[in-house]
Structure 1
Amino acid sequence: MDLKIAARTVAVIAIGAGLTAAISALRDDDAPDADAPSIVRPGGEPDPRRELTRCRDLGAAALEDAACRKAWARSRRRFLQSDKPARPAMPKPERFGAVPTPTEEVPSR
């Protein structure tokens, strides 16, 4: 019985060491990227969150500010995910009980 207990202990220690090595390897991959500088807006565009914050801080004066109106429109488009308005579908005439025109043949019953 002592051999079985020793084997189980060795197995638990090996699994624990393997898990510890895997976790440390995953954490080390993220460390070098954290030091790298990040470019938020490469084109020089202002950060939309900063612009919206500035407009919020302006209060009622933001209603006349063109940059605030543009930022609000961009935020609405992003939130609603609509770059252009969708065209409404034309309703089918049979849905409204439309009478066929005289040139159409009426199916016999």
Structure 2
Amino acid sequence: MDLKIAARMIAVFAIGAGLTAAITALQNDEDRRDVAAPRIEHPGGDRARDRELSRCRDLGTAALEDAACRKAWAENRRRFFRMDSPDRPTSPKANGGDHA
């Protein structure tokens, strides 16, 4: 009878130790991701760009004919959609790579 109680106690301690190790490992992974997170270059945004976009917004439909507004909108779309930097590298097939 004492052997069954001892075995159960050992099992409970083992499960508890395993859960503690798992929780600690998960918390450490979250901390590491924060360190590797990309930083925002200008947290408040570019004030000149914001002023230009606000000016264009205030112009209403007249902004459609304004070249500066069209340029500001195109730059904002490019920045928003990150058209200048692809998220993932292209495959060798897309680059026309040789198959040796």
Q: What TM-score bracket applies, with the shorter chain setting the length?
A: 0.3 to 0.5
> Larger Cα Rg: Structure 1 or Structure 2?
1
TM-score (norm 2): 0.46
Q: Which has the higher contact order (CA 8 A, sep 6+)?
A: 2
Which one has the bigger helix percentage? 2
